[in-house]
Amino acid sequence: MLKNYEEVQKVGQQNAETTTKLFGAISNGVQAIATEVGDYSKKSFEEGTKVFEQLLGTKSVEKAIELQQGYFKSAYESFVAQATKIGGLYADLAKETYKPLEGFVAKNTPAK
């Protein structure tokens, strides 16, 4: 009876450690993504405000169109780069989240 209790206690401790590692990985990954999104949003807002101020100071329609085209091109390229970067962060999050579960899944998966 004591041996079974010790085994249950050991399994419980392993599960608690795995859960702690899992939550740590999730927390770090989500924090990195949130930081990136916040930084991008701030940068994007600042660039948009700057271009808007420049548009208010233009004296010709041609210059305004030129400013808008440059801004739209830059904003699109920045968005694509940021989306790629955030996609990579999500992929890293998935990998890091699975790492603590690898041993648990391997032990609890029946052999064929």
Q: Per the domain annotation, does 68 fall within a domain? A: yes
Whether residue 62 is predicted with pLDDT greater than 90 in this model: the reply is yes
Confidence of residue 74 (pLDDT cuts 50, 70, 90): very high
Q: Per the domain annotation, does 82 fall within a domain? A: yes
DSSP letter string, the chain: -HHHHHHHHHHHHHHHHHHHHHHHHHHHHHHHHHHHHHHHHHHHHHHHHHHHHHHHT--SHHHHHHHHHHHHHHHHHHHHHHHHHHHHHHHHHHHHHHHHHHHHHHHHSPP-
Q: Per the domain annotation, does 112 fall within a domain? A: no
**Count of structural domains, the chain:** 1
Domain that holds residue 29: 15-98
Task: Supply the pTM of this predicted model.
Answer: 0.74
Tell me the per-residue pLDDT of 7-31, one tens digit each, with 9 for 90 and over: 888 878 888 888 888 888 899 999 9
